[in-house]
Structure formats: C-alpha cells, structure tokens
Amino acid sequence: MKHSFWLGKSGLFFMIWVLGTLWFGIPAAGSQQGTGQEGADSLYYRARSLALDDHEYDQVIALCRELLREYPGYHDAWVLMGRSYAWMGLYSRAEQQLHFVLQKDPDYLDALNALVDVYRWWARVDLALQTVNSALGISPDNSDLLYKKALIQHRLGDKQGALHTLALLRTLDPGSRKAAQLRMNIARESLTQEVTVLYRHDRFATTDRSDTYIPWTETSAPWRFVSVAYSQEAKALTVLGQLHYAQRFGEQAIQTEIGVYPDLTRSTAGYLNFGYSPDPLFPEIRADAEVTQTLGAGFQVALGARYLDFNTDRVLLYTGTLSEYFAGYWINARGFLSRSETAFSRAWYVQIRRYFHDTNNYITLSGGIGPSPDQPTSKEEYQYLTARHFSVSGQQRLVGFTYLRWELRLANEEWERGQFREHATGVLGLVYRF
C-alpha cells in the first residue's frame, strides 16, 4: 500500500510536469529546442554576415560545419556553405553541398537558386537552364529566377527566348532596371551597322612660353575638319570606311580610308587600314597594321606599325600598347617610335576611360607627349619639335541608339625653336547604330 501510494503520487507529479511542459513551454530534459535552436540561428546569421559583408569564406565554411555537426538538418547552412565554395571558385564542392540538400528536399527553392548560380559561374550553361526551369516549376512568378533564366538564354545565344522571358518578367516587375538593361543589351547586339558624323574645330594662340595654356583668345587661321564614317560588323570581321574633309590655312583637302578588324583567333584580333589623299594637307598614302593579343585578367597587348607618305617626307612609326579593363575602367598606355627622312621622334599617351552601363557610354581622360597618329594628322603636326596635350572626351546615349560624341583637347606645341603656341580643339558629333 505504501509503494502504491508513492507510485501514484509520482505518476501524478509526472503528468503535471508533462502538461506544464506542453502548456508553458518548460524545456524537457535533453531537448535542444528553445535556446539550442536560437544558438544555431545566431551561428548561422554570424556566418552569413561574414560571407556577405567580409567575404571571409573559409571562416563561413568552418562556422557552417560547426553548426551542422549539431544540426545536420539545418538546410540554410548547407546552402550558405555551397555558395561560399562557389564564391571561392570551388564549383564542384559547391555542387556537392547543394545536392545534399536537394536529395533531402527536392523542392527547396534556396538550394535550387544557389545551384543555378553555381552552374552559371561554372560555365555549365545547359545545366543552369535545366535547374532554373526546375526552380520556376516550383515558383513560376519568381522575378529573380526569371531574370537569371533570361541571362542564361542570352548566353546560350537564344535571344528570342531571352526576350520572351524578359516580357514575362516585365509583367511581374515593370520597374526592374537590370531587366531593362538586359533588354537593351540584347537589342544592341542585333545592330551591326554604325554611322558617325564628327565636326572638329581647332584654334590657336601664340605664346613665348612652354608651360601655359590660354586657348580661345587670339586666333590664327583656324582649322575646320569634318569626318563621316560607316562600319559594318560581321561574325568575325568589322569593316570601317571613312571620309575626311579639312580646311586649313585657306586650303581644302579630302582623305579616304578603309579599315578591317578581323578576329584571328578567340584571343587575337588584327587591324589593317589604308588611306589615300590627293591633297598635301594629308599624307598621300597612309597604311596601318596591328595585332592585339588578349592575355587574360583584363589585360591586352598590341604591336603594330604606321606608315605615312607626305611626298617630301616619309614617316614610319612603330607602336605598342598595354591596356587593362577592370571594374568598369579601361586604362590604355600607347607609345610610338618614328623615323622619317629628316628626324627621329618619340610619342606616348595614356588614356583612362570610365564606362557607364555599357561600352557605348563613357568618359575618357587622356594626356601625352607628341602627335597622335591614331587621328587624321597633317604634316605640320609631325614637324613640331615638342608637343604636350591633354583631353577629356566622352560618348553618351541621347535617345534610342543615337549617341553624342564630344571632346575638348588642349595642347602646347613648339612649332619652331623657342616658338610656342597654344592649340585648343573641340569635337562634336553624332553616332547612330542600326
């Protein structure tokens, strides 16, 4: 009877304790809910912050592994670890982590979304398309997934498919700027022809100093110059035709040029150009040849030559350039060594270009010493003893596929021993792609 009393009392106490646990949330012995789950969440958000803010991916992976030892079913930690491997370029390991989650839960959308990114960055575009279609089967109105599908279709060369996907995205998110930019890029790629019309005006001021710039004051015979260019892009070849008209020192002159830009290999491009002028302001014959090699990591190197025949003087220039593109900036350094029948000279310049939105919108700063044979050049410019120049130029979209091109250039030139002049150039033009 005594034992029965204590058993009954213990049973009653146990029932009250269990009911209290269920009703008031008192943790049962051995439970890892409550504070344990909160600790896991805290560890996950700490790892996520390290990934997104500090890019400390090794630490992120270590924290995720620590969390998963205690909570192996914490799927978000598997996904974060997979993304971290992908951000490190370890795509195979990233794929393994994400497949582990998808084996447990094939409809886990965050894992599918991450796997789409892994395949895109891994250049496994067909798998990326399969995965994004699977994800859209679960969430067909997901604007992020639709945008990624359009990117993948564009990369596969399916422009019509990409435009169709972007049309669906527009109904869901009409204000998406990145979708609008992708639509513009796809439309621009279908444009293979371009017409450019430029007007250039040069004015001068005489000075007896080599370090002053006082343009647009006193003038001597201004130079006027008009250029019309037409280019046609093909799959591996671009053809450029140009016609130049100049009015200088009361004389008039024209020059015609034809140039081709062939793709020699996937990483090598060529440039050939030939020009002719019957008038003495321009060289009678102009010939250019250059080869450009892509080195990777945004670097390019080029070597070439320019030949200018002014009848009374023939100029042969050797040129080389090193350029790099990174984070929306293009930096280009070019040098020239030239030998004519009367002189030997050097010239160089550096350009820094900042792109906005795409390669058709930019601003460029340039400075150097000596004439720039990349532009239509008169014989007089090759007879300068010294020349220093600085310019700012740019191109911006006006409307549709019409662009405004402009330049302001200041130069100081020693045209005779001890005689200097200031030279200011203004350029204004329109570019139309179709």
pLDDT tens, residue by residue, 113-163: 999 999 999 999 999 999 999 999 999 999 999 999 999 999 998 988 999
Determine the Cα angle at 98 with ends 93 and 104, to 5°: 135
| Helices and strands per DSSP (H, E), number in the chain | 11, 14
Q: Any residues with CB less than 8 A from the CB of 184 and at least 6 apart, and which?
A: 358
| DSSP state at residue 226 | E
Cα 114 from Cα 80, distance rounded (Å): 9
Q: Any residues with CB less than 8 A from the CB of 404 and at least 6 apart, and which?
A: 395, 396, 397, 398, 428, 429, 430, 431
Cα 109 from Cα 97, distance rounded (Å): 14
The DSSP H or E segment spanning 404 is strand 402-416
* Inter-residue contact 172 to 142 (CB < 8 Å): no
Determine the Cα angle at 346 with ends 415 and 419, to 5°: 15
Amino acid at 220: S
Cα 248 from Cα 221, distance rounded (Å): 7
Q: What is the pLDDT of residue 19?
A: 44
Q: Smallest Cα–Cα separation from 101: which of 113, 89, 86, 87? A: 113
Q: Smallest Cα–Cα separation from 322: which of 307, 338, 303, 345? A: 303
**Could you write out the DSSP letters of every residue in 293-342?**
EEEETTEEEEEEEEEEE-SS-EEEEEEEEEEEEETTEEEEEEEEEEEESS
Q: What is the pLDDT of residue 344?
A: 61
Q: What is the pTM of this model?
A: 0.64
Radius of gyration of the chain from its Cα atoms, rounded to whole angstroms: 34
Domains detected in the chain: 2-188 (1.25.40.10), 192-433 (2.40.160.40)
Please say whether the dihedral angle defined by the alpha carbons of residues 214, 372, 276 and 344, taken in this order, is positive or negative: positive
Q: What is the pLDDT of residue 23?
A: 38
Residue stretches of the chain with pLDDT short of 50: 1-10, 12-14, 16-35, 213-219
The CB density around residue 131, as the number of other CB atoms within 10 Å, is 27
Q: Smallest Cα–Cα separation from 290: which of 334, 353, 225, 339? A: 334
Q: What is the pLDDT of residue 383?
A: 59
Q: Any residues with CB less than 8 A from the CB of 67 and at least 6 apart, and which?
A: 40, 43, 44, 47, 74, 77
The DSSP H or E segment spanning 224 is strand 223-233
Q: What is the pLDDT of residue 342?
A: 57
